[in-house]
Chain A
Amino acid sequence: MRRVLLRWLLTSVPLVLFVSVLTFVLVSLVPGDAARSILGVETTPQTYEALRRQLGLNLPLWRQYWNWLDQVAHGSFGISIQSSAPVGHELAARLPVTLSIVGGAALVAAVFGVGLGLVSAVRGGPLGRALDVLSLSGLAVPAYWFGLVLVTVFAVKLHWFPASGYVSFSQSPGGWLVSLVLPVVTLGFGGSAVIAKQTRSGVLTELGRPYVLALRARGLSERRIVLRHVLRNAAAPVVTVLGLVVTGLIGGTVLVETVFVLPGLGSMAVTATTQHDIPVIQAVAVVFTLIVVGVNLLIEIVYAALDPKVRP
């Protein structure tokens, strides 16, 4: 377990530093600074200087970064320029929405991807070719466009699901589920294609290994060989790919939440971008990265559990 944690820290710490430094340096490139954006053009130099000092903008860049990290570590993400509200509160309110979508999409991608990949590897033939087409389209069809197609068909024409909006779980668990179906399918579709492809190639590789022949020679049923042995051994690379897919899904929420008008972190990022609300976009970028880091930890643990050589 300690090795797993160490490996995770080795990638996570640089990742968080990378994203935070990157956003911080980018922000420092802004013509004019936050004080100017808040106060507007018509202000006295005295008020401007005072606000600069208050915001710590007069300090050297590395001190500003350090202060900012210190704030973040204490759970404060600064003040929104647009609403003058603490960013942390809004982040907390929106986090469950984004986590619901990402979690659901990851589940859809994993279940459909593994199922489809497995069946097409064992059955082969036309199903394998269908999978090739699916995985190609999964990669080529933009999520936002696919989401709109789903809305047209299942919301506008058939009225099965709402076209937009979010119902919180505490409000109505059923409504929550229904409001998530289309966004989750939209986001999970591309991911399932990638996972199906990896599963298929992994299962095919494992089926060709000598131990499969040995298991057959011991009289085990094909079903048992595939489900217990082959799938188990093909799982490790699938889990790795799942990690990459979830990173993609997290970014994808930006588009999907906009399509379905969901009050999550993704739509928050888009609004902040159009309003040039720097503290907000900075905070969202860091939270997104922290989610990725959390997912990576889960992946590392699952991966370790699958590999007898890593298992303590």
Chain B
Amino acid sequence: MTGVWRRLRRRPLGTLSLAWLLIVVLASLAAPLLAPSGPGTQDLSHVFSGPSSHHWLGTGVLGQDVLVRLLYGGRVTLVGVLVSDALYTGLGVLMGLAAGYLGGFVEKAVLRLAEIVYSVPLIVVLLVVLAIFPGNELVAMVGLGLIGSPGLARVVRAQARGLRGEPYVQAAKLAGMGRWAIMRRHILPHVLGTVIVQVSLFSAAAVLLETGLGFLGVGATGATWGGLVSEASQNIGTQSWLLVPSGFLIVSFVLALGLAGDALRDGTTERLGGQETPVPCRPGRLTFRSAPPPVAIVGPDDRSGALLSVRDLTVAFPRDGMETVVVTEVDLDVMPGEAVGIVGESGCGKTVTARAVLGLLQGGGRATAGTIVFEGSDLLQVGSAEIRRVRGGRIGWVSQEPLASLNPSFTVGSQIVEAVRAHRPLARRNDQDQVLDLLRRVHLPRPEDVAGLYPHQLSGGMAQRVAVAAALAGDPVLLIADEPTTSLDVTVQAGILDLFHELRETGMAIVLVTHDWGVLADLCQRAVVMYAGQVVERADTSDLLRRVRHPYTEALMAADPRLAAPKTFLAAIEGAVPPPADWPAGCRFQSRCRLARPDCTERPVPLLPVGPEHESRCRHVDLVGTVGAMSSPGGPTGPPATPPNVVAVGLPGTVRR
């Protein structure tokens, strides 16, 4: 009961609407009690009077009280709407359940019928009915319910179809329950919420149509809501007041029906616990402790000539009215012509870091601290025109989803031309040549043909080459590639990697976001390992593969089929990356770490140098690699054993070869 009240309080508009519906219905029902004299009573001494103490809402042409007529008119409208609602609901649900559960011919017939009925000019059909049955509004409302019902059937069918495969429905079927019994017991209750909303919307339409018929003078006679508007229209030059009460009542009643339907729908989804399911791996509530920031010690200062230099980058996203930090004080340097790999599990902040560089954070995310210096200017400070010049013109970007990154409505050629023109607006003459050059540069065969294709005609590998070509259109010096091979077949991956190799050889710097050690080792000189929004280890790739200095990196490598020793169980890291809400005060990896000690929980761990150009964020660096399940191409470390916190997985499905 308290739950109901809370829900009502949270939706004042819906509650108000329900209350107003109830008032109008009750007042109409009680009309003979409230105004025993009836709607026809004339008061010729008060013709067309405005609101007064005698006639609260004024009077009409013969001095009939407007309020009384509205009360009695409500009875006509409500009866008509109820009749059509009953038919609409009964037939619609029946047809919808039959179509959704039985499928086949019934389903096709219902769908086709619904399609036809949507194109019927309803009011004209009602006029036909009324021409044949003069003044018989009930028959018209019956017709309305009949014609409307396939619309409801279509909606119910969609839901029933989804329920057909549910285990409990299958179980009931196996238990020998009859078709109709299953529909009634197991499917009907689940479509009830949808039906309520549809009926409320249909009722709103029915009220508008019924009053419309009353206005036209072809519906019920006597006191009706539409008839009052009609009377107002006949005296429009002098008596505009008459429009107000009738109009207000119709509009408010219809609005209330719509809003009440919305509120009821929201109420039902809430009860089913939908809507507010948190997205996994997305930032939770802000609980990042305001502990003293760990001192980030920049490695030996020979990286001063960096092309891109990210310092202390902190990124936050709004959630539930608060800002949730998802990336904390990340440092990243990219030298001209250098390839840097950012590696880590999903949800560690790799993509957010990469996108922050180009100011492409979505969902209201923003860099709350730090600097992103590129070619001498801080990209967090420059204006929108300047950042546009950098995007595509100086820094290219390639995404994980090659096909989705192309607009399906335009040809490959036109999309690349657009990218070229964004940075070279004057060179229109040889646009086409440039497109072909770019397509050749990414090794697409028959570039003339490819330029004329639409994205849906491309394979994944081709699409990624096209996306790279578009990224190169502005002749950038740095390419940020966010898992560019993840969604591709293994054979295609190799081709794309070759392409990146070629680009690097031409002097292009690359930032590669990946979770694939093989790809990283193949392409990148430097590797940055991220965990839970932090850099946890950073080193030259060859050095890192030879000598891991952080337990997370160690575990991550052990889970990679290419790096794990042959003929051993593949290890997976137990647990999952904690969402920002659950980041602990000390080391963020502590809950999953095989080396965790009491001092790991105390305060944030700084990123410290552990060797030449090698940094690690671990207090127990010396213990890393002592019981290694991993073996690297650099040097196998004896017979591999499974560390206690690492679960052995022998499922071939988890291995990508």
Residues of A near any B CB (own CB < 8 A): 11, 14-15, 18-19, 22-23, 26-27, 29-30, 136-137, 139-142, 144-145, 148-149, 151-152, 156, 163, 208-211, 213-221, 224, 229, 232-233, 244, 247, 250-252, 254-255, 258-259, 269-270, 272-274, 276-278, 281-282, 284-285, 288-289, 292-293, 296, 306-309
Known: A142-B208, A144-B215, A274-B217. A216 touches B360 (CB 8 A): yes
* Residues B121 and A247 in contact, CB atoms below 8 Å apart: yes
24 A-B residue pairs with CB within 8 Å = A22-B128, A145-B229, A145-B243, A145-B250, A148-B232, A152-B243, A214-B470, A216-B360, A217-B392, A218-B418, A218-B471, A219-B422, A220-B419, A229-B407, A244-B118, A247-B119, A251-B123, A255-B216, A258-B216, A272-B131, A273-B127, A273-B216, A284-B124, A293-B119
Assuming the A-B contacts A152-B243, A214-B470, are A14 and B116 also in contact, with contact meaning beta carbons closer than 8 angstroms in the complex? yes
Beta-carbon nearest neighbor of B143 in chain A: A26
A98 CB to closest chain B CB (Å) equals 11
B409 touches A269 (CB 8 A): no
- Smallest Cβ distance from A166 to chain B, in angstroms? 17
User: Across the interface, do A217 and B115 meet the contact criterion of CB distance under 8 Å?
Assistant: no
Once A27-B132, A214-B405, A274-B217 are accepted as A-B contacts, the answer to whether A144 and B124 lie under 8 Å apart by CB is: no
Neighbouring B residues of A11 by C-beta, 8 Å = 115-116, 119
Q: How far is the CB of B138 from chain A (nearest CB, A)?
A: 15
**Interface membership of B240, Cβ < 8 A:** yes
Q: Which of A152, A214, A306 has the most CB of B within 10 A?
A: A214
- Give A309 to B455 CA distance when docked, in angstroms: 10
Q: CA of A277 to CA of B132 in the docked complex: distance in angstroms?
A: 9
Does B204 make an interface contact (CB < 8 A)?
A: yes
Residues 109-133 of B, flagged 1 when their CB comes within 8 A of A and 0 if not, give: 0001001111111111101111110
Q: How far is the CA of A149 from the CA of B393 in the complex (A)?
A: 56
Given A19-B120, A251-B122, A289-B120, 19 more pairs with CB closer than 8 A = A139-B254, A142-B215, A142-B247, A151-B236, A209-B404, A211-B407, A213-B360, A214-B397, A217-B391, A219-B419, A219-B474, A232-B409, A272-B131, A273-B128, A273-B131, A273-B216, A281-B128, A308-B409, A309-B456
Known A156-B240, A218-B474, A274-B218: A18·B116 in contact at CB below 8 Å: yes
- 4 smallest beta-carbon distances between A and B, as pairs: A219-B392, A217-B397, A214-B405, A251-B121
Closest-CB distance, A291 to chain B (whole angstroms): 8
Secondary structure type dominating chain B contacts: helix
Given the contacts A22-B125, A214-B467, A288-B121, A140 and B405 also touching, CB distance less than 8 Å: no
On whether the beta carbons of B120 and A18 are closer than 8 Å, the reply is yes
Indicate if the CB atoms of A217 and B127 lie closer than 8 Å. no
Minimum C-beta distance from B432 to chain A (A): 18
Q: How far is the CB of A293 from chain B (nearest CB, A)?
A: 8
Query: For residue B360, which residues in chain A have a CB less than 8 angstroms away from its CB?
Result: 213, 216-217
* A91 vs chain B, min Cβ distance (A): 14
> What residues of chain A lie closer than 8 Å to B603, measured between beta carbons?
none
Residues of A within 8 A of B255 (CB): 136-137, 140
Residues in chain A near residue B471, CB distance under 8 A: 217-218
- Bound-state Cα–Cα, A194 to B229, Å: 25
Task: Collect the chain B residues with CB atoms within 8 Å of residue A152's CB.
Answer: 236, 240, 243
Interfacial chain A residues near B236, Cβ < 8 Å:
148, 151-152, 156, 163
